Structure 1
Amino acid sequence: MTMASPTSDKRLQTSDERRERILEGAFKVFLAYGYDRTTMDDIARAAEISRPALYLVFRNKTDIYRALASQFLNELLARTEAVLAEEGPLAARLDRMCEGVFYCMMREIEETPHGPELLDVKNHLAGDVMTEWRGRLDAVLAQVIETEALKNGVDLEAKGFSAQTLATMLNDAMEGMKARIADPKEHMERGKLYLKVIGAVLNP
């Protein structure tokens, strides 16, 4: 196995740091100006790098948005896994996931002037990123639900469900409500009702 030289390690670190600085700057200007009005010049200035240096890392604004979406969703999933791994009843953990992770993080974006626009463009700019992340989230929730069912001695199949079905149903419900419920607080309260349904199915 060939060991990387100190020089190459330093170069890699510099590249990673530059990428992170670009994403931080892009996030700020996207929120300030909206996706459509933001230019690569705006992002370069916010990241405090030259435009040519910016193009060495990202080809265009869409690639930057997709990288931001992936970063945000990965953090969202990591926080979700951390909350669901905590001790205590599943219902309480799901509630903390719903309110303390999903709505807390989404609210930080939605309450900015151009946050709703950034969330609206995600499907056509990063639809594949969203689909891949949604599959991972479904799998995480399904595993937790299956573990809880086994612990409680609940036969999900006898009740007409599977852990995967319940996980998908929960995420479908949460996603579908966004189209018809504008108030984040009401959205959260409706989401908690679906969590109660999951809890009822998992009771012996």
Structure 2
Amino acid sequence: MYQANEPYFQPLSKAILTEAIKVFYQFGYKKCSMEDIATAAKVSRQTLHLYFRNKEQLFRAALEIMTHDLLIAIQNVADNQNDAIEDILSEIFDVLCGKQGAVSSAANIAELMAVAHSKERHLITRFQTKVQEILANALSRAGIDTHWQQQGISAQDLALHLLDTSAGIKSLFTKGDDSNYLRRMAIAIRVVVIGAR
């Protein structure tokens, strides 16, 4: 279960980060400037630099906030004991699909992911590990892993399989084509769930 404390940021820096995330999505990493972020956050460049020395530090802080918020949202979905496991898994991947990305181009998303992987690999690795853990716990709670274990496949393996499937499906569609992504993920989820029966 994900229960990390929220990264602490002063209220103004958190407001700046909220706007910075939007600007990074809109322009990508390379085309985004500190001036763009200051303008979006309605602060001076000097104020922005008081909180964040440079774009790299700001990007790292924005990534921390984004991954934390996503993990909280995913854990909340996974903790819902009233829904069927297929619905829970579908909703988790809906959250992972990201509403923020709808305002971004596929090129910007790809660039942001590349920068995150190259500059902040430890944050991305920690995020992926926690998502896999949340998925595996949900699958175990629903008893899905019981049948698969007889075949030598663990809940962690199933969770990783779903995450890899998600990444593969995402690579097939342009951003904004969420309905095709979610439809294909629903099929992958059904295969995992029905295969356990």
TM range (shorter): 0.7 to 0.9
Alignment of 1:3-152 (within 5 A): 16-86=10-80, 87-99=82-94, 101-103=95-97, 106=98, 108-114=99-105, 116-125=107-116, 126-149=120-143
Q: TM-score, normalised by structure 1?
A: 0.77
Aligned partner of 1:4 in structure 2 is none
Tell me the CA shift for residue 58 of structure 1.
1.4
Confirm whether residue 179 of structure 1 aligns to residue 179 of structure 2: no
Distance 1:75 1:116 in 2: 23
Confirm whether residue 166 of structure 1 aligns to residue 161 of structure 2: no
Distance 1:192 1:59 in 2: 43
Distance 2:145 2:165 in 1: 26
Distance 1:180 1:17 in 2: 39
SS in structure 2 at match of 1:166 = helix
Size of the aligned set, in residue pairs, is 184
In structure 2, relative to structure 1, the CA distance for the partners of 1:157 and 1:48 (3 Å cut) is same
Q: Which runs of 5+ in 1 are unaligned?
A: 1-12
Percent of residue pairs identical: 24
CA deviations 1:167-195 (Å, max 9, x no partner) are: 11111110122222333321211111110
Distance 2:139 2:125 in 1: 21
Q: Which has the larger radius of gyration?
A: 1
Quick one: which amino acid aligns to residue 53 of structure 1? T
> Is the contact made by 1:148 and 1:202 (CA closer than 8 Å) also made in structure 2?
no
Higher relative contact order (CA 8 A, sep 6+): 2
Tell me the CA shift for residue 94 of structure 1.
1.4
Tell me the CA shift for residue 123 of structure 1.
2.8
Backbone CA RMSD of aligned residues = 2.5
Q: TM-score, normalised by structure 2?
A: 0.80
